[in-house]
Structure 1
Amino acid sequence: MKGPQEQYTDELKKNFGFIATWLPGTPFLLGDIGILNDNVFTRVASLEDFHIQFDIREDDTADDLDYSSKGSVSVTTKFSGKASPQGSVLGDADAGFIVEFGHENAVLFKAKQTRTNLIKDTIKLGESVLQLYRDGKWNKNWVIITELVKAESATILISNSVNGKIELKASANIDAAKLDIADAKFEFASVFSKGMDTQIVSSQGLTPLFKVKGIKTRIFLPPIFKQRGLSTLDLFTPETAKGEHKDQLYFDYISDDVRE
């Protein structure tokens, strides 16, 4: 059975086409360099450390992102002045949400006012990276965050049991006609939870999704090499990358930690 990290990153990748930040509250920046392992990015440096400058293409439009595990998440909105559902700890005067999970590792993800910024010229960036590798100054397994989603605020909940539940109470703007579980202005606080693994509630400034680029090769090995945990890149060294195999390396998107 998948754990919460694997389930979360797999589901969000399938839905949005981006790698999901794990742990979800970890802050990242464009140009961060790291290792991608089981869809978990571990930062080791930044392009600034290699004196590589880049321009950013900023997203002019903001979008709300909403995802929940199919058939596994129930969200009940509780408005102020309305009777509380049976068994809820929320009072009649309270406003908030009741979120119930029907499966272990079920996910609720909602991000408000997200913008996807990216590094403008990744062709030039790739040339710089390949040259650094040929000079013996770059780890061929490193990847770079070249696209990054930043949310004004977001709520991310993951259960760890088949009957996970959390109740959130709004501390401000409780008379608002429309409640948004991801909106920080409502100042939600957890007043009850059980069977929960991850609770990030209306947190601001998260970078929940990203894409990376790194060194890849046009040479393919038989599947048995993958079964042994080997890739074609394992056959390369900075010296071979300068010689006959120079044109067999290129810089492109890396979707996971398994590369040719």
Structure 2
Amino acid sequence: MPKDRPRKYIKAVRGATRMQPSWPPSAHRELGDVGVFRDGQFERKGTMESLFGVKAIPRDVPDNSTSYHCDSNGNVRIHSHGAAGVAAGPAAADASLLLDFGKADAVLFHATGCWSEEIKNIESVEARMRKLSEEKKWPRGYVVVTEVTHAARTTVLMCQNSKERVELKASADPGVSGLDLLTAAGGLSWAGGSVAGLQLLSEGELTPLYRVRGMVRHWFRDDEPGYLDEGTTEDEQGEGEWYVDEVSSETFDVGDEDDE
């Protein structure tokens, strides 16, 4: 797999969902996980409890989305034929999907039956992060997973070249069509056309999306209220305090640098 494919996948899905996508898509994330983003990917170091003595207590996020979808800004077109059979019948039947990818590295991401959890005692977690930062004991670039989204079914495809076509077969209840076929309970299977460079078909019980927070420095400017330059040297001007905020791999990536 090309080295930049994970970053392209993460950028596409994050742009559509406003959440950090797991990489690989089947990777498991848990509340309180601590790590760094390295070249777009989350590198786990431990947990808030094991590393810093604060246990993350979960609670459900109210009124969150039950489904998420990404088609690379319309560059993946879906053509479907619903399952045949008697609508009232209980048996599943085969349906077909034809996916046209309009550009290289286009991503189709679809997750349904979603529910999210967040850290209930987030104030305690953030207080610990700030305290460690003040003591210069919070490692540079470290982030904490503060929200995870679970999905009953997740489908991910990412093509390799432009104008590729993928044919899939879905086992679904009669009458099911369109996007619902992407997460058919009976499963999806490849039926022809191009073989996607990344393929995850109607996989159950994943955590495909999450959010993290990190320590961010606020740089004061001389035109901001509260900026004081009297008695400071040139090197000291512009220094600000650290605070906790939501971050992503697009803005908080340590790259190949040593994060210790």
TM-score, normalising length from structure 2? 0.75
Which segments of 5 or more consecutive residues in structure 2 lack a partner in the other structure? 86-92, 222-234, 253-260
Kept in 1: contact 2:17–2:70 (CA 8 A): no
Tell me the percent identity: 26
- Equivalences for 1:113-152 in 2 at 5 Å? 113-135=113-135, 137-152=137-152
Give the superposition deviation at 1:163. Answer: 2.6
Kept in 1: contact 2:16–2:69 (CA 8 A): no
Match of 2:56 in 1: 54
Aligned to 2:185, the other structure's residue is in SS state helix
Match of 1:32 in 2: 33
Kept in 2: contact 1:110–1:181 (CA 8 A): no
Give the superposition deviation at 1:77. Answer: 1.2
Q: Deviations over 1:159-208 (max 9, x none)?
A: 1111322222234x4x5211423325122111224152111110112212
Give the superposition deviation at 1:80. Answer: 4.4
The code of the aligned residue for 2:11 comes to D
Which segments of 5 or more consecutive residues in structure 1 lack a partner in the other structure? 83-92, 222-234, 236-244
Aligned to 2:113, the other structure's residue is in SS state strand
The code of the aligned residue for 1:4 comes to R
The code of the aligned residue for 1:153 comes to R
Match of 1:226 in 2: none
What's the RMSD between the two structures over aligned residues? 2.8
The code of the aligned residue for 1:75 comes to I
Match of 1:17 in 2: 18
The code of the aligned residue for 1:32 comes to D
The code of the aligned residue for 1:176 comes to P
Instruction: From 74, 77, 92, give the equivalent of 1:74.
Output: 77
Match of 2:192 in 1: 192
In structure 1, distance between residues paired with 2:17 and 2:250: 18
Kept in 2: contact 1:37–1:257 (CA 8 A): no
Aligned to 1:181, the other structure's residue is in SS state helix
Kept in 2: contact 1:104–1:160 (CA 8 A): yes
Match of 1:227 in 2: none
Aligned to 1:10, the other structure's residue is in SS state helix
Kept in 2: contact 1:184–1:204 (CA 8 A): no
Q: Deviations over 1:2-59 (max 9, x none)?
A: 9432332222222222122222111111111110134321111112213312322203
Match of 1:250 in 2: 243
Aligned to 1:186, the other structure's residue is in SS state coil
Q: How many residues align?
A: 224
Match of 2:43 in 1: 42
How has the CA–CA distance of structure 1 residues 170 and 12 changed in structure 2, closer, same or farther, with 3 Å as cutoff?
closer
Match of 1:155 in 2: 155
Match of 1:5 in 2: 6
Q: Deviations over 1:215-257 (max 9, x none)?
A: 1112369xxxxxxxxxxxxx9xxxxxxxxx8x81222212346
Greater helix content: 1
Kept in 2: contact 1:4–1:197 (CA 8 A): no
Kept in 1: contact 2:14–2:21 (CA 8 A): yes
Kept in 2: contact 1:77–1:96 (CA 8 A): yes
The code of the aligned residue for 1:39 comes to G
- Equivalences for 1:172-191 in 2 at 5 Å? 173=172, 175-179=173-177, 180-191=180-191
Kept in 2: contact 1:154–1:200 (CA 8 A): yes
Q: Deviations over 1:126-172 (max 9, x none)?
A: 1112323455643131100111111111111111111322222234x
The code of the aligned residue for 1:165 comes to R
In structure 1, distance between residues paired with 2:206 and 2:193: 23
In structure 1, distance between residues paired with 2:83 and 2:176: 11
